[in-house]
Amino acid sequence: MTDLRKKMHLVFWPLVRFTFLIVIGYSFVHFFLFIEGNLPLREDMYLIFLPIVVTAIGVYFFLRPKLKQLQFKRDNTLGFYCTVFAIAVLVPTIVAQNYLSKALGKQTVVEDVYQIEQTPFSKYYTVNRFHIDTKKVGWHTKTRISGKTSSELYFDAYVVFPIVKRFTEEPSETHVYWLGMKYQRYGMNPKDSRQEKWMTQRFMREIQNEFNLIDFRSFTFLERLDHSRDRGDYISALHQVGHSKTSKALILHPHFEPYEQRTAHLLLWFFLSLGGGFVVCFTLVYFAKLKQEK
């Protein structure tokens, strides 16, 4: 058996089998626990964090011993290979979970928003009869500094406004159904408080102008944000309009694309990330040498 065939047998094919095991196995867990079971866990926890944990554990205990059969000139090369192999498994796993969440999320058609709580839980809703009150708007903004040298300034704005059955209806301080939008802006951190204040004010003016130009009556479907990582920020926006029972508020994100396009190109990205990861890992295995048998 040639060295390449040995390396394929000992390292590369175990990677392929492990990748499909993680993608398929975790997808079943995701479907039964979080799509069908609707466990109350934040989306980023089961779409990103749990796949990271599962992949890291699997790579350490299953693929790392396989990689030790390769000969490395430097001690840290094994860690580099483990990292690359982990990324090759993790990226398609995360993309697959995002695809499943969007593709298999249930859709319900309701006559008006007040029927939402009277129907089984769904991720998406189509509402036939509604009125949007963009005069009673709550805003919540926050800034964060990022980058190795704190050189990047990120500005996030969250806005909520009520959706009701008819235009004559006046939403109360305990109104349940609200539309929520998130806006983001990015710039270089000025590292001066006055310039930062000016930049955030400029960002806010841009966002408000964008908000005012959108015809929210043209949305095609709504997405429920119960388990969104941003729910706390939307709740903060509700406080700005004096909402007194935010724990019962239902935040819905309006989509303007056709419902059939909700998955965008996620399936394509899955196959690209899967194939790309395999190509990179095969290249690493190809140029590595096997340890000599003693």
Run means of pLDDT, 10 residues per run, the chain, 294 residues = 87 97 98 92 95 98 95 89 98 97 94 93 94 91 82 91 85 88 89 84 94 94 94 94 88 95 93 98 94 70
Which pLDDT belongs to residue 84? 98
Q: How many domains does the chain have?
A: 2
Quote the pLDDT of residue 56. Answer: 98
228 and 281 part of one domain: no
- pLDDT for the residue numbered 293: 67
Instruction: Please give the structure tokens belonging to residue 120.
Output: 């089984």
Where helices occur in the chain by DSSP H, the ranges are: 3-7, 13-29, 43-44, 50-58, 64-67, 77-103, 193-213, 231-239, 266-287
Contact 84, 284 (CB under 8 A): yes
Same structural domain, 89 and 142: no
DSSP-derived letter for residue 75 is: T
Considering the domain architecture, whether residues 282 and 197 belong to the same structural domain is answered as no
Task: Identify whether the C-beta of residue 88 lies closer than 8 Å to the C-beta of residue 152.
Answer: no
Residues 138 and 196 in one domain: yes
Q: In angstroms, rounded to a whole number, what is the distance separating the alpha carbons of residues 205 and 240?
A: 18
In this prediction, residue 262 carries a pLDDT of 92
Does one domain contain both 9 and 81? yes
- Do 59 and 82 form a contact (C-beta atoms < 8 A)? yes
The CA–CA distances, whole Å, from 272 to 95, 120, 163 equal 10, 36, 40
pLDDT at 3: 86
Q: What is the largest CA-CA distance in the chain?
A: 86
C-alpha angle 219-104-271 in degrees, rounded to nearest 5: 100
Q: Is the domain of 122 the same as that of 252?
A: yes
Q: Are residues 168 and 270 in the same domain?
A: no
Strand pairing class (138-146; 289-290): unpaired
Strands 177-188, 152-164: pairing kind: antiparallel
Residues 270 and 249 in one domain: no
Report the alpha-carbon distance of residue 275 to residue 267 in Å, rounded.
12
Domain check: are 191 and 274 in the same one? no
Looking at residue 17, what is its pLDDT?
98
Residue 286 CA, chain-centre distance (Å), reads: 34
Q: Assess whether 255 and 126 both reside in one domain.
A: yes
Residues 120 and 7 in one domain: no
Query: Does residue 30 sit in helix, strand or coil?
Result: helix
* The predicted structure's pLDDT at residue 294: 55
Same domain, 248 and 268: no
Q: What is the pLDDT of residue 292?
A: 76
Report the distance separating Cα 19 and Cα 125, nearest Å: 34
The parent domain of residue 27 ranges over 1-104+262-290
The pLDDT value given to residue 187: 86
**Which candidate, 95, 8, 114, places its Cα nearest to that of 55?**
95
